[in-house]
Amino acid sequence: MNYKNYINGSWHDAKSGKKFSVENPFNQEIIAEVPDSNFDDINLAVSSAKNAYLDWCLMTAGERRDLMRELANKSRENAKDLAKTISMEMGKPFAESLDEIDTVADFLEYYGELARDEVGRIVAPVDSKTMSLVRYESTGVIGCIIPWNYPLALMGWKLAPALAAGNTVVIKPSEITPLSVLHWCSLIESILPPGVINVVTGYGQSAGEPLVTHLDVPVITFTGSVVTGKKIARLAADNLKKVSLELGGKDPMIICDDADIEIAAQGASWGGFVNAGQVCTSIERIYVFENVINKFTEAIIEEAKKVVLGDPFAKDTDIGPMVSKAQQENTVKKVEQAVRDGARILTGGNIPKNLGNGYFYQPTVLDNIRSDMEIVTEEAFSPVLPIQKVSSIQDAIIQSNDSIYGLGCSIFTKDIDRALTAADDIKSGTICINSPLMENIAAPFGGMKQSGIGREHGKEALDEFREAKHIFIDYKQEAKDWWF
């Protein structure tokens, strides 16, 4: 496939003619080249989306729903080909890539239907024979900046509610994983009117920043690091632009002394190591009651040793390579720093030598952890689990809240009072009880503190991409003294 920018229903090279390469992290082979775009390409895409918006916003919600169903069907029909592209450019196991396609299709169907009912409301009148209507209106061109760890799934999280609310979009995928989004567009290009969806590839400074600052883009939705999210917020502030930011996490897991230790260890292993730990809601801190910490530590070490690293297309592979050499090197540095700070490696802690030149890193468990260590305070985005002991649920809650992040938290216990007390007191956007990393398309997803602004999923996601307009009607039609 010859990868180009997708603008106004057709394919374009960057106006500069520049390109950059996309690498397969399993074998370091170059898969393809894509446009290295800049302001000129972004401006063309925004103009296309702005023109398409004039008709798209006037469609009924039912008409948009029907087209979004077609997008979902086309996604499922081509699931294996799309999943292959994800695994090649991102490195995750093929089965997980297939799940991403289901996610895209599910979101398109869900929001296409939800938007038909979420059109407005009637609020209590201020006087007899008056009425106040609240109508939800689309916003315009939405700038979507997509991360590399779930390139199609997280595209769906943003694209589906934006389209359903009546907006058009310009997508800038990650420069690390742009092929999945472009591949998807090549499959659905005949379904939507030209310009409703546009995709421009490039780097953050040359392509992402012009999208954020463009005067014809009133809303930016971004998933990525806290550092980049803060920069986007600063740039958007100049034009009072609305932003939805899904940023980092340092999600804690609490293991109480009444928990089923085997189940908790299995949950911690999956929650910490899936996708090589490259998930914003990965388990990154584990707090274990002191009277069961030895038992849990033994169990999590055994679970970590069971995890199979290998070729993303091998059926028995649990974890593929990390997405890039930079991610692998970052993991090495974080573990080395933790050891210098006094941590002890219980298992893992190395680049495996039997897996060729892929960017692999062993699932790693650490103890001898202090709360002030960088491995506890900063997001690792790596397959690394630091374990600390706590004396009580109150201690665990204090430790969990001692962070600039507040994305998710999980707690394993059979005591519902203890679990709900933690849910009440821990400052996180999502609390999972006896399960890690669970999401529900109908429930809001997002973070507190520096983990983000706004919400994805549920009705709340629609609110990120629309405006509420109040329409007041006085139908008495009687003379009145306006001056009291």
Hey, which residues are catalytic here?
A: 246, 280
Q: Strands 242-246 and 19-23, how do they pair?
A: unpaired
Contacts of 482 (CB under 8 A, 6+ apart): none
CB distance 291 to 257 below 8 Å: yes
Instruction: Select from 104, 141, 138 the least CA-distant residue to 118.
Output: 138
What CA–CA distance (Å, rounded) separates 380 from 278? 9
Report the 10 Å Cβ neighbour count for 358. Answer: 21
Phi, psi (rounded to 5 degrees) for 145 = -110, 115
Q: How far is CA 2 from CA 45, 219, 260, 278, in A?
A: 19, 30, 52, 29
Q: What is the largest CA-CA distance in the chain?
A: 88
In this structure, the strands spanning 10-12 and 5-7 are antiparallel
Cβ(359)–Cβ(327) below 8 Å: yes
Coil/strand/helix, residue 115 = helix
Place of tokens 């869900």: 110
Angle at CA of residue 64, ends 60 and 66, nearest 5°: 115
Contact 179, 172 (CB under 8 A): no
C-alpha span between 68 and 163 (Å, rounded) = 8
Question: Cα–Cα distance between 42 and 214 in angstroms, integer?
Answer: 9
In a 13 Å sphere around the CA of 312, the CA atoms on its Cβ side amount to: 30
Could you tell me if 245 and 225 are in contact, meaning their C-beta atoms sit under 8 angstroms apart? no
State the helix-helix crossing angle for 79-90 and 179-188, rounded to 10 degrees. 160
> How far, in Å, CA of 22 to CA of 35, rounded?
11
Q: What are the start-end ranges of the E strands in 256-293?
A: 283-289
Could you say which DSSP state residue 445 is in? B
Please give the DSSP secondary-structure letter assigned to residue 456: B
Per-position DSSP letters for 21-44, written without gaps between them: EEE-TTT--EEEEEE---HHHHHH
